[in-house]
């Protein structure tokens, strides 16, 4: 299976702090890739680099065979993104917000209804986004990312601020996207339990370094080999992170 | 297309009512000024248009500068308030184009402002100087000149507003710059001839010679190009919105 995203020693440094350290990740086409790591692991920084919101200090990456910064505009045209928290015009309605993006992307008008229905916002389309609840704002952010059904979706903690029913709904939606719309999803979270329910492949990041990349069964296998608990994946993840933190502490 | 989007983004922001209110407030000033000090104005032996512009233009220019700052602040506040600008950075759209279209939009909004003011000045000329030429041609020439003079102010105001996430910061900087212009405009120093916020205080009278006007237009053009280049340079070196 070909990779839609490939990074080669991708690094981002902020003065004396390294947010992402020689990252080599591979996101397969048509899969949901769960990007897992504790807060501050470098997940958002990596995603921001993919979108050209921050420049890599060294290394490179390719998206659909296109490289940054040469093909940034082409990459953005085919990538739907939701980073950190929803971004919208509070003075415009949900529908008007999507219309701004639709016009920039040159999509048909029907794409707005499609995205609103997909995220359950259709009945609230005429309400100004500033008056939306936190969950509705989150859904609007997702609708913006899903507009036009892009071949690649980059979602940074998309279920933040949603109620349990909303979390379930969005998880189900993300899980179904590759089959329904033939797209690839890169989704980040700091909760393994969440990623476990959505992702085909997992990448575990800690302090900017990729500790593991592979499928869930592969993670279990590796954990067993290394003597980590395997009954509960949350414990596996925590043990992995803890050991890496201890190693880093030793190095210091 | 970007200009249409910028227009759409101003919905429910109060930008158009602010410009309309600004135009009416600015236009009311010459009427009230001449109404309360009729003798002072009508006793002068000058063309009515010159009397009216000389007597009121400083205040009108202050209104123009303040409207430019206010407009720039409103436009960028809508971008920053709910992080909409960050979404814009994730879309295949040139940030430079967005910046210049915001300026074009503000410039277009200034056109009715100037025309409303011209209407009120014409009313003053006809009402208080009956039988004399109201100087419509000069007023229209002054409008064209004022559009050129306000352009660098718009570019500087939007540049400041685009760099400060907090609207009060850009508004504060803009107002300080505006008062600096107002205070220094009457000096003979080079600074008051080239300072961006001094330019809107210049106006075109029937006695104005083209050799006096062209250097001012040259300064306006040079500053506009320079400020545009600064924005493009900043966009190149700074990837994130702020």
Residue A82, phi-psi category: left (phi > 0), alpha (psi -120 to 50), beta (remainder): beta
**Using a CB-CB distance cutoff of 8 angstroms, which residues of chain A are in contact with residue B82?**
86-90, 129-130
For B205-219, what is the mean pLDDT? 89
Burial B14-25 (b: 16+ CB within 10 A, else e): ebeeebeebbee
CB-nearest to A89 from B4, B78, B93 is B78
Lowest mean pLDDT among A151-155, A242-246, B97-101, B105-109: A242-246
Candidates A30, A12, A18; CA nearest to A152 is A30
- What local confidence, expressed as pLDDT, does residue A250 receive? 53
For B26-30, what is the mean pLDDT? 95
Question: What order do you get walking across the sheet with A209-215 strand by strand?
Answer: A79-82, A152-156, A184-189, A32-36, A201-206, A209-215
pLDDT at B32 over 80: yes
Q: Does A2 touch chain B (CB under 8 A)?
A: no
CB-nearest to A77 from B1, B78, B92 is B92
Q: What is the mean pLDDT of chain B?
A: 93
Query: Per residue in B130-150, pLDDT tens?
Result: 888 888 999 999 999 999 999
- What local confidence, expressed as pLDDT, does residue A252 receive? 46
pTM exceeds cut of 0.95: no
- Which two three-digit tokens encode residue A51? 């979108």
A85–B83 CB contact, under 8 Å: yes
CB-nearest to B90 from A55, A81, A96 is A81
CA distance B12 to A39: 37
Residue with tokens 């990041």: A205
The more confidently predicted of residues A170 and B158 is B158
Burial A199-212 (b: 16+ CB within 10 A, else e): bbbbbbbbbbbbbb
B203 contacts B142 by C-beta, under 8 angstroms: yes
- Which two three-digit tokens encode residue B127? 């009402």
CA distance A101 to B172: 32
For B63-91, what is the mean pLDDT? 94
- What local confidence, expressed as pLDDT, does residue A161 receive? 75
B12–A76 CB contact, under 8 Å: no
Q: Does B90 touch chain A (CB under 8 A)?
A: yes
Query: Cα separations (Å) of A249 from A190, A223, A244?
Result: 22, 21, 9
Per residue of chain A (252 residues), what is the pLDDT tens digit?
589 999 999 999 998 889 999 999 999 999 999 999 888 899 999 999 999 888 899 999 999 989 888 898 999 999 999 988 889 999 999 999 999 999 999 999 999 999 999 888 999 999 999 999 888 998 999 999 999 889 999 999 888 878 888 888 888 888 888 888 889 999 998 777 788 888 999 999 999 999 999 998 898 888 888 888 877 777 888 888 888 888 877 554
């Amino acid at each position: 299976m070909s990779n839609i995203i490939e990074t080669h020693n991708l690094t981002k440094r902020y003065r004396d702090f390294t947010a992402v350290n020689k990252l080599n990740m591979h996101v397969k086409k048509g899969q949901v890739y769960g990007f897992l790591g504790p807060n501050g692991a470098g997940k958002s920084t990596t995603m921001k680099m993919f979108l050209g919101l921050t420049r890599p200090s060294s290394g490179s990456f390719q998206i659909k065979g296109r490289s940054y910064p040469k093909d940034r505009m082409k990459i953005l045209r085919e990538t739907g993104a939701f980073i950190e928290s929803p971004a919208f015009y509070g003075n415009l309605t949900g529908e008007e917000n999507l219309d701004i993006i639709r016009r920039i992307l040159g999509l048909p008008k029907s794409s707005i209804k499609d995205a609103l229905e997909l995220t359950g916002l259709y009945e609230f389309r005429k309400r100004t986004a500033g008056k939306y609840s936190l969950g509705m704002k989150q859904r609007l952010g997702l609708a913006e990312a899903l507009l036009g059904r892009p071949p690649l979706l980059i979602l940074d903690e998309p279920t933040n601020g949603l109620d349990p029913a909303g979390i379930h709904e969005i998880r189900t939606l993300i899980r179904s996207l590759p089959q329904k719309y033939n797209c690839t999803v890169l989704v980040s979270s700091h909760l393994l339990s969440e990623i476990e329910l959505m992702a085909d492949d997992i990448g575990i990041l800690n302090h900017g370094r990729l500790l593991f990349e592979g499928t869930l069964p592969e993670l279990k296998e590796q954990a067993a080999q290394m003597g980590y608990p395997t009954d509960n994946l949350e414990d596996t993840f925590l043990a992995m992170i803890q050991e890496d933190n201890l190693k880093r502490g030793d190095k210091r | 297309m970007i200009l249409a989007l910028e227009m759409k983004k101003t919905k429910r922001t109060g930008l158009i009512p602010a410009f309309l209110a600004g135009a009416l407030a600015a236009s009311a000033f010459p009427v009230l000024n001449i109404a309360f000090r009729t003798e002072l104005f009508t006793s002068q032996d000058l063309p009515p248009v010159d009397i009216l512009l000389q007597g009121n233009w400083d205040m009108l220019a202050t209104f123009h500068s303040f409207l430019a700052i206010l407009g720039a602040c409103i436009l960028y506040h809508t971008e920053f308030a709910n992080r909409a600008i960050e979404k814009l950075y994730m879309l295949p759209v040139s940030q430079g184009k967005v910046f210049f279209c915001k300026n074009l939009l503000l410039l277009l909004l200034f056109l009715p402002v100037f025309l409303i003011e011209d209407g009120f000045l014409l009313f003053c000329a006809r009402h208080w100087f009956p039988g004399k030429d109201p100087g419509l041609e000069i007023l229209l020439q002054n409008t064209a000149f004022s559009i050129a003079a306000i352009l660098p102010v718009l570019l500087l105001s939007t540049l400041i507003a685009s760099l400060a996430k907090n609207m009060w910061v850009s508004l504060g900087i803009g107002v300080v710059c505006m008062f600096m212009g107002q205070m220094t405009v009457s000096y003979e120093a080079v600074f008051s001839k080239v300072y961006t916020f001094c330019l809107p205080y210049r106006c075109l009278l029937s006695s104005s010679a083209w050799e006096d006007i062209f250097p001012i237009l040259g300064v306006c053009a040079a500053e506009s190009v320079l400020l545009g280049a600064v924005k493009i340079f900043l966009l190149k070196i700074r990837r994130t919105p702020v």
